[in-house]
Amino acid sequence: MCLILLALDTHPDYALVLAANRDEFYDRPTAGAAFWDEAPWVLAGRDLRAGGTWLGIDRRGRLAAVTNYRQGQRETAAPRSRGHLVSEYLVGQGDGRTHVEQVEREAARYNGFNLIAGDPAALFYFSNREGRVRALGPGVYGLSNHLLDSPWPKVTAGKSGLSALLSGGEQLLPSLFALLSDRGQAADNLLPRTGVSPEWERLLSAAFIATPDYGTRSSTVVLVGRDRRVVFVERSFGPGGAPGEEVSYEIEITGA
Tell me the pLDDT tens digit for each residue of 180-192: 999 999 999 999 9
Residue range(s) defining the domain that contains residue 219: 3-252
The pLDDT of residue 111: 94
> What is the rounded distance in angstroms from the CA atom of residue 118 to the CA atom of residue 63?
6
> What is the rounded distance in angstroms from the CA atom of residue 166 to the CA atom of residue 11?
5
Tell me the pLDDT tens digit for each residue of 93-122: 999 999 999 999 999 999 999 999 999 999
Secondary structure (DSSP) of 52-100: --SEEEETTS-EEEEEEPP-SSPPPPPSS-TTHHHHHHHHS---HHHHH
> What is the rounded distance in angstroms from the CA atom of residue 104 to the CA atom of residue 85?
11
> What is the rounded distance in angstroms from the CA atom of residue 157 to the CA atom of residue 175?
14
Three-state SS letters, 160-211: HHHHCCCCCCCCHHHHHHHHHCCCCCCCHHHCCCCCCCHHHHHHHCCCCCEC
Is the predicted pLDDT of residue 132 greater than 70, yes or no? Answer: yes
> What is the rounded distance in angstroms from the CA atom of residue 81 to the CA atom of residue 232?
25
User: For the stretch 196-222, what's the b/e string if a residue is b when 16 or more beta carbons lie within 10 angstroms of its beta carbon?
Assistant: beeebbebbbbbbbbeeebbbbbbbbb
Picking from 125, 146, 245, the residue whose alpha carbon sits closest to that of residue 204 is: 146
- Give yes or no for a contact between 118 and 96, defined as CB atoms under 8 angstroms apart: yes
- Give yes or no for a contact between 50 and 32, defined as CB atoms under 8 angstroms apart: no
pLDDT over 70 percentage in the chain: 98
Read off the pLDDT of each residue in 115-140 and give the average, rounded to a whole number.
98
> What is the rounded distance in angstroms from the CA atom of residue 209 to the CA atom of residue 70?
16
The pLDDT of residue 43: 98
Cβ count near 169 (within 10 Å): 9
The pLDDT of residue 167: 84
Q: Into how many domains does the chain fold?
A: 1
pTM of the predicted structure, to 2 decimals:
0.96
> What is the rounded distance in angstroms from the CA atom of residue 252 to the CA atom of residue 23?
29
Tell me the pLDDT tens digit for each residue of 1-23: 699 999 999 999 999 999 999 99
Tell me the pLDDT tens digit for each residue of 24-77: 999 999 999 999 999 999 999 999 999 999 999 999 999 999 999 997 666 777
Residue 129: helix, strand or coil by DSSP? coil
Task: Residue 66: give its domain's CATH number.
Answer: 3.60.60.10
